[in-house]
Structure 1
């Protein structure tokens, strides 16, 4: 089972969560005031942050690698974003150009950095070329470029950045230089080393492509002054690496392909407790012991229907993108109040979306009337249950409408997770953030997309995804995710128990206006309709207080880890509305997402200690 905070959680502003974890995906914002200051960009908070939730806060290793890339390849007045494939980089460029005036298109360039390596000189990836794509653009367009990074979740991971930062003493290989006149990059950008570069640039639709040959040195390792990723909390990189690989948890990344196969099998068949890599890869057709398999109860579902992505939002973005490119591009529907970036994706890519922010039966009636009027939609995206209000849509009725009016249903099951709920019979595509409870350790990102083989357009989808999908999940991240996920079944059961006990206590407190939790939701019948017999109500709840002042007192008095993310093995709390909707608080309030809301992701702590902790914090508000 993953690490649990048996000692007090981090309390220092900007400290990683979990503490002393090199690639932590959360960060400590210990007070209500600190959360507001983070949103306002105040230096006393932002200046101390080495990391944050990766799609929102670019990790210090990625920042340092970006700085080096700008020094090598950038022109004055440019900034850069880093991506793991040319296709992703091209989509970034297209987004930037689409969001700028057509009469004055900016110069947006892509530089390809290729490193040749072998397993003997580095075990972080398999032998062969490893490519990094650098999107360079005018500095004034940074906020637009950052939107693509945040919404899509397709940027480089911190482990990939670390790999490129620590590349000294590599064998050299010769590359025939182009003349200075032929090269679209300045000759003084290069010296010797085993790398290959390509440069792509475009003003509107015109493109220049060339191979740039000079030899260039390894991207230099960061100094302590330049990169806080090198040393955290006074610990050497060697010690941090030991902490991350403690107890043999990390494997040589030559096993990354096997780890990904094991995860796909685990997601498709819900492999049981503590199944090691060899067992996870055993044949499910004849030789695998049946006690290691739990069927996900979808006709014909196999690991070939599961696709892995670098983040949960990447799985949502790429699902939407494939649907738009394969079928007639129509508006989609966002049903229920979703996690913020899901709605942004549907609004910013394609013809737009219809938003039904409450996801109620009344709004379902409105959707049905829209469809009866002749409006056709491409897909309906929903969460079960939703984040942060834990509402559950009527999937049975939605499936009937989808069959009648021929649209896709995409269900995000991150919060419910397939141990607790069984949504596959009602969905064409199921997406999930593996960063959350599937991992639990809060030290790696990942996402999945699962196609329902019983869906009416399954074969078309399967063919489309087969033609479009590229595996950009960094090998080291896959290794950690596979190892973290082996005990997720027992963790979910324990978290279910703790969360229900906590909700039962909190709902009775006089300072609490409402507890958002599937058991106490007005949409409980919809959740129960898809709840597995052995499943629970999940580990997430949101507590809305009568006043912001009460919420602040409670949050400040609470002794849990405090920061973004959820699904962690330890209890993690945040004033969710402030972090997700700080610039649109009135808009969010229309849909019941109150500024006095504190979201709690319940962990594995002893139940009695957890209840006492929350009782003390609640009573502080009296």
Structure 2
């Protein structure tokens, strides 16, 4: 008989994850029924939700600000969606016109909010760039705006909206048309400066930088009117970019990160690569969206290839914001054979998008073969390394662009969004890509979010080591249980050899795994009995579980099944808990099935 277990991580439906966190990235859906209820739109779930995953759920701070903008600038029956710049809002407007050409510009318009002429002279405002662009439209067409918001990842963050809403209420943020043209705040893209001179008064040798004279730990949940050390914003972004570049092989703070030499030996083994080839975005999907847009700008509007079963919005981006794609959902060698036949027959493509490893089956693509085909038949390779992460795998030599969601394990704290795209300086068409990025790139990662991201990522190295160890221990428990049908993990995947080709000398197999069972009821019992936090997202410092296919693909379960993705799959993102404790938790959930 199984001894009843008191759930330590029993978080109420709809509570933020982490609990009582204003800008949390995840939300508690603690039972199988709650996940289905969420997908079915049942009130007992939706009415309790304090937040949701940011690209699927518009944060209440954002919605509150949008409502205030409509009240001041809108017409009856209108709604607003908020973006960080006019350029981004314009892309949404173009998508609106494409999807609903009958509306016309008289029914869809952009309102740009910027600081008053007096406030625009402020040094602090010049650093933090507090502006918002709202697109106003008939509220019955919200589904169009929501589609663009979700797939492109271009919406404002909750911290951005909260900060600017307070300025708006104080009369500091006003319609740009009211500001004198000579003092217009928004003057176009803000690109990263080259070298390492950003916001540093002396060379970054650690001797006399701005960061050395200020306390880099003075970061708390900030709101307008409280002390935010704005002078550290650019430094924080630079430190984040250096970590993404692979310069750091140990946990270091902001000061140490800024003191590193730019050409320091790094984990990403590609000659001439540096933080100059790293670009920050508001979230991981936005880095994919902008990469796809930039590749089309560089090469033309050709179809792309999506290889392997991908995260849902990657496929939607190439389908909805370009001429479409060729989808190879199994990620098999036979599909690469088919692609090669098509290429030999004269078909040409823009790029191949793939994940390393994939989510949720954790299979790894044959990057070596893909790179060979790309070089021979002239298409780009875009690799999403979010699940693998660069401490475990080095995929840059095989890609032209490597993208990642920094929201996940890079941050770990589940309280800030971020994304990155990095260019391979040894790629065949690096020069044209670099010119395209420099022309198009707009830094829309909100200043406060950058500060949190830098702080959260300081212990990235040691966290990865612990997570790798814990994930393998949980895999061992699941793989040896007779009621578990299959465990998906790179170490035990039939594609392990492809993963190992890219594995770094000290790298492991990551913190994401999934499992299937012999019946739906077994999956439900296991999930409901599992004493972990449960909700969307992955890469958190705490173990986070979800019935992933139900949550991500509820309206297309048959389509998923056709690619071998079981509707009853349970996905686990492994955290930093004590290993023996996690093993006990998973064994108890498995024992619950048998009883």
- TM-score scaled by structure 2? 0.88
Aligned to 2:593: 621
Distance of aligned partners of 1:106 and 1:537 in 2 relative to their CA distance in 1, 3 Å threshold: farther
Query: 428-437 or 160-169: which moved more?
Result: 160-169
Tell me how far 1:285 sits from its aligned partner. Answer: 5.1
2: CA distance, partners of 1:270 / 1:573 = 31
Aligned to 1:231: none
Tell me how far 1:126 sits from its aligned partner. Answer: 4.8
Q: 1:417 aligns with which of 389, 402, 413?
A: 389
Does residue 358 of the first structure (1) align with residue 336 of the second (2)?
no
Aligned to 1:13: 13
Please state whether the residue corresponding to 1:416 is helix, strand or coil: coil
Q: Please list, as runs of the form range in 1=range in 2, the aligned pairs for 1:415-564 lying within 5 A after superposition.
A: 415-564=387-536
2: CA distance, partners of 1:135 / 1:168 = 16
- Map Cα deviations across residues 253-311 of structure 1 (whole Å, 9 max, x no partner): 3211111011111111331333221221125159xxx7xx6342111001100000000
- Map Cα deviations across residues 356-414 of structure 1 (whole Å, 9 max, x no partner): 00001111111111111110001000000001110100000001000100100000000
Please state whether the residue corresponding to 1:297 is helix, strand or coil: coil
Aligned to 2:152: 152
Aligned to 1:260: 237
> Is the Cα–Cα contact under 8 Å of residues 265 and 303 in structure 1 kept in the other structure?
yes
Q: Please list, as runs of the form range in 1=range in 2, the aligned pairs for 1:48-197 lying within 5 A after superposition.
A: 48-101=48-101, 107-116=107-116, 126=126, 130-167=130-167, 193-197=171-175
2: CA distance, partners of 1:569 / 1:119 = 39
Distance of aligned partners of 1:119 and 1:483 in 2 relative to their CA distance in 1, 3 Å threshold: farther
Does residue 406 of the first structure (1) align with residue 378 of the second (2)?
yes
Distance of aligned partners of 1:51 and 1:454 in 2 relative to their CA distance in 1, 3 Å threshold: same
Distance of aligned partners of 1:143 and 1:519 in 2 relative to their CA distance in 1, 3 Å threshold: same
Aligned to 1:30: 30
Please state whether the residue corresponding to 1:371 is helix, strand or coil: helix
Tell me how far 1:530 sits from its aligned partner. Answer: 0.9
Does residue 576 of the first structure (1) align with residue 548 of the second (2)?
yes
2: CA distance, partners of 1:408 / 1:505 = 40
Tell me how far 1:196 sits from its aligned partner. Answer: 3.1
Aligned to 1:598: 570
Please state whether the residue corresponding to 2:361 is helix, strand or coil: coil
Q: 2:321 aligns with which of 323, 337, 349?
A: 349
Q: 1:277 aligns with which of 231, 234, 254?
A: 254
> Is the Cα–Cα contact under 8 Å of residues 332 and 353 in structure 1 kept in the other structure?
yes
1: CA distance, partners of 2:591 / 2:121 = 59
Aligned-pair Cα RMSD in Å: 2.3
Please state whether the residue corresponding to 1:377 is helix, strand or coil: coil
Tell me how far 1:195 sits from its aligned partner. Answer: 3.8
> Is the Cα–Cα contact under 8 Å of residues 311 and 447 in structure 1 kept in the other structure?
yes
> Is the Cα–Cα contact under 8 Å of residues 127 and 233 in structure 2 kept in the other structure?
no
1: CA distance, partners of 2:514 / 2:126 = 43
Distance of aligned partners of 1:111 and 1:425 in 2 relative to their CA distance in 1, 3 Å threshold: same
Distance of aligned partners of 1:242 and 1:252 in 2 relative to their CA distance in 1, 3 Å threshold: closer
Query: 8-17 or 111-120: which moved more?
Result: 111-120
Structure 2: any 5+ residue segments left out of the alignment?
1-5, 181-217
Distance of aligned partners of 1:378 and 1:35 in 2 relative to their CA distance in 1, 3 Å threshold: same
Aligned to 1:183: none
Does residue 310 of the first structure (1) align with residue 282 of the second (2)?
yes
Tell me how far 1:525 sits from its aligned partner. Answer: 1.1
Distance of aligned partners of 1:285 and 1:77 in 2 relative to their CA distance in 1, 3 Å threshold: closer
Please state whether the residue corresponding to 1:386 is helix, strand or coil: coil
Structure 1: any 5+ residue segments left out of the alignment?
1-5, 171-192, 199-209, 214-240
Tell me how far 1:49 sits from its aligned partner. Answer: 1.0
Please state whether the residue corresponding to 2:237 is helix, strand or coil: helix
1: CA distance, partners of 2:366 / 2:151 = 27
> Is the Cα–Cα contact under 8 Å of residues 10 and 18 in structure 1 kept in the other structure?
no
1: CA distance, partners of 2:579 / 2:121 = 48
1: CA distance, partners of 2:59 / 2:571 = 24
2: CA distance, partners of 1:122 / 1:162 = 20
Distance of aligned partners of 1:132 and 1:589 in 2 relative to their CA distance in 1, 3 Å threshold: same
> Is the Cα–Cα contact under 8 Å of residues 251 and 479 in structure 1 kept in the other structure?
no
Tell me how far 1:211 sits from its aligned partner. Answer: 4.7
> Is the Cα–Cα contact under 8 Å of residues 517 and 540 in structure 1 kept in the other structure?
yes
> Is the Cα–Cα contact under 8 Å of residues 128 and 230 in structure 2 kept in the other structure?
no
Tell me how far 1:577 sits from its aligned partner. Answer: 0.4
> Is the Cα–Cα contact under 8 Å of residues 21 and 243 in structure 1 kept in the other structure?
no
Please state whether the residue corresponding to 2:391 is helix, strand or coil: helix
- Map Cα deviations across residues 38-73 of structure 1 (whole Å, 9 max, x no partner): 111111111111111100011111111111111111
Please state whether the residue corresponding to 1:418 is helix, strand or coil: coil
1: CA distance, partners of 2:29 / 2:135 = 31
Please state whether the residue corresponding to 1:167 is helix, strand or coil: helix
2: CA distance, partners of 1:34 / 1:409 = 38
Distance of aligned partners of 1:327 and 1:51 in 2 relative to their CA distance in 1, 3 Å threshold: same
Query: 495-504 or 110-119: which moved more?
Result: 110-119
2: CA distance, partners of 1:155 / 1:320 = 17
1: CA distance, partners of 2:396 / 2:173 = 46
> Is the Cα–Cα contact under 8 Å of residues 28 and 534 in structure 2 kept in the other structure?
yes
Distance of aligned partners of 1:295 and 1:510 in 2 relative to their CA distance in 1, 3 Å threshold: closer
> Is the Cα–Cα contact under 8 Å of residues 385 and 518 in structure 1 kept in the other structure?
yes
Distance of aligned partners of 1:118 and 1:9 in 2 relative to their CA distance in 1, 3 Å threshold: farther
- Map Cα deviations across residues 499-522 of structure 1 (whole Å, 9 max, x no partner): 011111101212211111101111
> Is the Cα–Cα contact under 8 Å of residues 127 and 230 in structure 2 kept in the other structure?
no
Aligned to 2:44: 44
Please state whether the residue corresponding to 1:87 is helix, strand or coil: helix
- Map Cα deviations across residues 560-616 of structure 1 (whole Å, 9 max, x no partner): 010000000000000000111000000011111111101000001011110110111
Distance of aligned partners of 1:524 and 1:547 in 2 relative to their CA distance in 1, 3 Å threshold: same
1: CA distance, partners of 2:559 / 2:262 = 52
